[in-house]
C-alpha cells in the first residue's frame, strides 16, 4: 500500500506500485505505437491449457485456489497479447510472491496506526484541527459502524480504501481534508499502482466485466494480476536480463535504462549523479530550477553540439520507449565511451531508498529487484525441470 509516501521511492515516477502515474496516459499512448517487444515476448508461448498446468506446478503446493490463480495469470497474458512463456509466467509469479505471498488482499501489520497518521497529516495540510476530525469520524458509516471503529479494525488495503471512499463520499469534512484523493494508492497481489491501472484501463479495454471501479478491480485477484502483469511486461525494453524489469516494476518503467544514461552523463561530465532514473525535475519552477541530471548534461552542451532547449526536449522523452534512439542518448554515450575507453552499460539498477509508512528498515530498489530475480530464477529452474522436453 502506498499512502502519501511512495512505497517504492520518493521520486516522481514512483509506481508502480509506483506510485506516481508518470504522465501515465501520455506514456501509454506512446507505448501503443513504439518499438518492438523483446525477443522473449515474440515467442509463441505455451498453449493456455499447458500454461495453466505449468503454473499450478510452480505455485506453492498448499496454496488454496491454485487453479484460479493459474487461470488468472494465463488469462492476463492472453488479454495483453503476451506469450505464456516460462519466462513471462515466472516473472509474474516472482513479483506476486515477493509482494504478497499469493494473497489477493494481503494484511498489513499496524495498518490502523498508519491510517491514523495519514489522516493527521492530511488534516494538518488542510488546516483542519484533528480534534474536529476525530469527532466527525465517530459518526456511523454506511455499514453501521463508525468510521473511527472501522479504521481501528482495518487489516488490509482494500478495507482501508473502502473506508476512505465512504469518508470522501459521505462526510463533508472528509471531502475537505482529503480533497477527493483516496490515499491508498497501491493494492492487490502484485501491489500495483492504482493510478497506473486507471490510466491503462483508459488506453486498453479491461477484459473482465467491472461492477465497480478500476480501484476495486485492483484489489481482486484477477484485476491485481492483470494490471500488475501489464505494468511488469506490457512495454518494450531491450534489457539483457529480467532483473532490470523487476527494478522498473519498483522504480517506474524505463528507470533502469535511464539510470544507465545518468551513469554515462556522470562519466562524461565528472559530476556525481544519483542514479535514480529520473531525468528531469517536475513542478511549476522546473524551468527556473532544472534537476541535477539536466544541469550535468548542460555542462556537455558544447561537446554534444546541442543547446539547452534541445537537451531538455530529449530528456523529457525519458518516460518513452524511444529515448534511447534520441540524439542526446547517442551523443552522450558516444562521448562517455570515448573518454572511458570502454563500452558502458545500457541498463543499471537504480539506486533508490524505498520510503513508505509500512517500511521499518532500510530497503532499496536494488534489494527488491534482486529478491524478485532470485525467485524468478528458482521458478525458471522448476519450469525447465517440468518441461516434457
pLDDT digits 0-9 by tens, 78-126: 999 999 999 999 999 999 999 999 999 888 888 888 888 888 887 787 7
What is the rounded distance in angstroms from the CA atom of residue 85 to the CA atom of residue 148? 47
DSSP state of 187: E
Q: Are residues 251 and 331 in the same domain?
A: yes
Per-residue confidence (pLDDT) for residue 389, from 0 to 100? 55
Instruction: Please state the φ and ψ torsions of residue 254, each to the nearest 5 degrees.
Output: 70, 10
Domain boundary among 171, 186, 201: 186
Residue with cell 572511458: 340
CA distance linking residue 13 with residue 315, whole number of Å: 14
- Residue 75's SS3 state is helix
Domain limits at 314?
A: 245-340
Is residue 49 assigned to a domain?
no
Burial state string for 27-47 with b = 16 or more CB within 10 A and e = fewer than 16? bbebbeeebebbebbeeebbe
Q: Is the residue at 120 inside a domain?
A: yes
In this predicted model, which residue has the larger pLDDT, 248 or 162?
Answer: 248
pLDDT for position 157 = 87
Question: Residue 280: inside a domain, yes or no?
Answer: yes
Residues of the chain with pLDDT > 70, as a percent, come to 82
Total number of domains constituting the chain? 2
Q: Mean pLDDT throughout 224-240?
A: 97
Residue 357 lies in a domain: no
Domain boundary among 167, 186, 205: 186
Say which range, 34-48, 58-72, 132-146, 330-344, has the weakest mean pLDDT.
Answer: 34-48
Residue 142 lies in a domain: yes
pLDDT at 367: 94
pLDDT at residue 17 above 70?
Answer: no
The band of 28, judged by pLDDT with boundaries at 50, 70 and 90, is very low
Please check whether residue 130 lies inside any domain of the structure: yes
Cell of 293: 541530471
- Integer Cα distance of 228 and 206 in angstroms: 13
Does this model's pTM top 0.85?
no
Residue 258 included in any domain: yes
Average pLDDT, the chain: 84
Average pLDDT (298-302) is: 97
Closest CA to 50 of 68, 70, 76: 70
Is the confidence at residue 2, as pLDDT, over 80?
Answer: no
pLDDT, one tens digit per residue, over 357-376 is 554 456 899 999 999 999 99
Amino acid at each position: 500500500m502506498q499512502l502519501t509516501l511512495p512505497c517504492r521511492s520518493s521520486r516522481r515516477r514512483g509506481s508502480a506500485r509506483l506510485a506516481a502515474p508518470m504522465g501515465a496516459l501520455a506514456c501509454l499512448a506512446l507505448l501503443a505505437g513504439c518499438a518492438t517487444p523483446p525477443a522473449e515476448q515474440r515467442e509463441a508461448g505455451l498453449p493456455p491449457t499447458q500454461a495453466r498446468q505449468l503454473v499450478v506446478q510452480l505455485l506453492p503446493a498448499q496454496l488454496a485456489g491454485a487453479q484460479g490463480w493459474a487461470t488468472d495469470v494465463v488469462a492476463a497474458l492472453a488479454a495483453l497479447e503476451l506469450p505464456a512463456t516460462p519466462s513471462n509466467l515466472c516473472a509474474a509469479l516472482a513479483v506476486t510472491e515477493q509482494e504478497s505471498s499469493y494473497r489477493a488482499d494481503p494484511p498489513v501489520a499496524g495498518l490502523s496506526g498508519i491510517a491514523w497518521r495519514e489522516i493527521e497529516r492530511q488534516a494538518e495540510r488542510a488546516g483542519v484541527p484533528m480534534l474536529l476530525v476525530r469527532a466527525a469520524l465517530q459518526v456511523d458509516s454506511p455499514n453501521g459502524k463508525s468510521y473511527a471503529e472501522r479504521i481501528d479494525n482495518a487489516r488490509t488495503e482494500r478495507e482501508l480504501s473502502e473506508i476512505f471512499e465512504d469518508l470522501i463520499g459521505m462526510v463533508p469534512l472528509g471531502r475537505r481534508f482529503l480533497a477527493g484523493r483516496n490515499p491508498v494508492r497501491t493494492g492487490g497481489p502484485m501491489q500495483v499502482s492504482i493510478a497506473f491501472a486507471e490510466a491503462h484501463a483508459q488506453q486498453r479495454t479491461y477484459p473482465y466485466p467491472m461492477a465497480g471501479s478500476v480501484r476495486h478491480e485492483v484489489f481482486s485477484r484477477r484485476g491485481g494480476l492483470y494490471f500488475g502483469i501489464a505494468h511488469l511486461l506490457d512495454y518494450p525494453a531491450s534489457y539483457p536480463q529480467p532483473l532490470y524489469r523487476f527494478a522498473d516494476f519498483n522504480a517506474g518503467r524505463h528507470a533502469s535504462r535511464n539510470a544507465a544514461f545518468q551513469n554515462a552523463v556522470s562519466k562524461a561530465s565528472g559530476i556525481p549523479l544519483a542514479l535514480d532514473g529520473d531525468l528531469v525535475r517536475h513542478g511549476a519552477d522546473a524551468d527556473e530550477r532544472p534537476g541535477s541530471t539536466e544541469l550535468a548534461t548542460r555542462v556537455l552542451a558544447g561537446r554534444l553540439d546541442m543547446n539547452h532547449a534541445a537537451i531538455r526536449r530529449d530528456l523529457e522523452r525519458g518516460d518513452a520507449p524511444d529515448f534511447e534512439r534520441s540524439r542526446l542518448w547517442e551523443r552522450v554515450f558516444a562521448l562517455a565511451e570515448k573518454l572511458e575507453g570502454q563500452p558502458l552499460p545500457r541498463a543499471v539498477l537504480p539506486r533508490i531508498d524505498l520510503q513508505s509508512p509500512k517500511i521499518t528498515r532500510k530497503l532499496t530498489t536494488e534489494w527488491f529487484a534482486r529478491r524478485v530475480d532470485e525467485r524468478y530464477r528458482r521458478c525458471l529452474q522448476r519450469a525447465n525441470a517440468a518441461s516434457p522436453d
